Homo-oligomer: A and B are copies of this chain.
Amino acid sequence: MGGHITRYIQSNHPDWDIHGISRSLPVWNFLPGHEQIAGAIEFHQGDLLNAARTRQLVKEIDPDFILHLAAFSSVGESWQKPVEAVLNNTNAFLNVVEAVRLNNCCCRIVSVGSSEEYGIVDPSQLPIHEDARPRPANPYAVARVSQENLAQIYMQGYHLDICSTRSFNHIGPGQRIQFVVSSIADQFAKIAVNRGRDSPVISIGNGSIVRDFIDIEDVIRAYDILFTNGKTGETYNICTGKGHSIADIVRIFSEMLDISVDIEQQNTLLRPIDNPILVGSYEKIHAHTGWEPHVSIEESLRKIYSYWFDQESAKI
């Protein structure tokens, strides 16, 4: 996300000064022209779990806008490392808003949350709207609900200017293969590159679960529009309104690439609890800001495949 949004701001707001805080210098070599993109942002080494350092950095930078992206964002990994998931979502965010409060900064914060906050949803509620009751069903989701609740408190009690999102599953080139669409695209790329050697099998977890996959470019446009047009204290779904099962994603890749595959369910990828279906409504953000998604699932998957094909080709 950091690289993609830096590129976007560079193009669309060339007069902005862009600062980034991260534990270590990020590597954005999944983006064409990444050296030039990295040159457009001033990096500050810092761990958001270090409250004093975070406070000092926010004071130094004195931002007009904060986009809080730093997160432990894998549901699967959060079951393995629940403590890290809570620290690197809830506590990291808390240090950011606390730094803004204690430094008396006047800035708009866009706090990125997740569709996982909804948890197990009754099909009658789909597509889900923001007023649905959160029923978080994994450690990551609990941490995100807590973040959003804190955003409300900092807004109502301390008058910070925060917009929250519930961003649905975003996908794009460069996303790690711990995320399902990257994993599937990489497996297809491996098959294409080694055609004739590997057996055409795609390993996935639960193929029947349905998610609202949204292209990273659409997500970034939404965050940008929330900087200026989002309403203080509101929470917005960022989604496409369309659902695709994991098996669907495999099928779309298969047809697009004309590669027939078998699907193999890997039980180690199954989670203790999983939401069977999650599709959002973007009615609210559309009404407040005019935003709507532009990129089709096919177009998005094509970009992602292209990235992984280049990765796998380079290995030969």
Binding site for B on A (CB under 8 A): 51, 79, 82-83, 86-87, 90-91, 94-95, 98, 133, 136-139, 142-143, 145-146, 149-150, 153, 156-158, 271-273
Contact = CB atoms under 8 A, between A and B. Distances in A.
A86 B86 CA distance: 11
Contacts of A273: 153, 156-157
B83 A146 contact: no
A94 B146 CA distance: 13
Nearest to A120: B156
Nearest to A51: B83
Contacts of A94: 82-83, 86
Contact of A146 (B145, B157, B271): B145
Given A86-B150, A142-B146, 19 more contacts: A51-B83, A82-B94, A82-B153, A83-B98, A86-B146, A91-B91, A136-B153, A138-B153, A139-B150, A139-B157, A142-B149, A143-B146, A145-B149, A146-B146, A146-B149, A153-B273, A156-B272, A157-B271, A157-B273
A87 B150 CA distance: 13
Main secondary structure of the interface of A (DSSP, over half): helix
Nearest to A140: B153
Contacts of A271: 157
9 nearest CB pairs, A to B: A157-B272, A146-B146, A142-B149, A133-B133, A136-B149, A156-B273, A142-B150, A157-B273, A139-B153
26 contacts: A79-B157, A82-B98, A82-B150, A82-B153, A83-B95, A83-B98, A86-B91, A86-B94, A86-B146, A86-B150, A90-B90, A90-B146, A136-B149, A137-B153, A138-B153, A138-B157, A139-B153, A142-B149, A143-B146, A145-B145, A145-B146, A145-B149, A146-B149, A157-B271, A157-B272, A158-B272
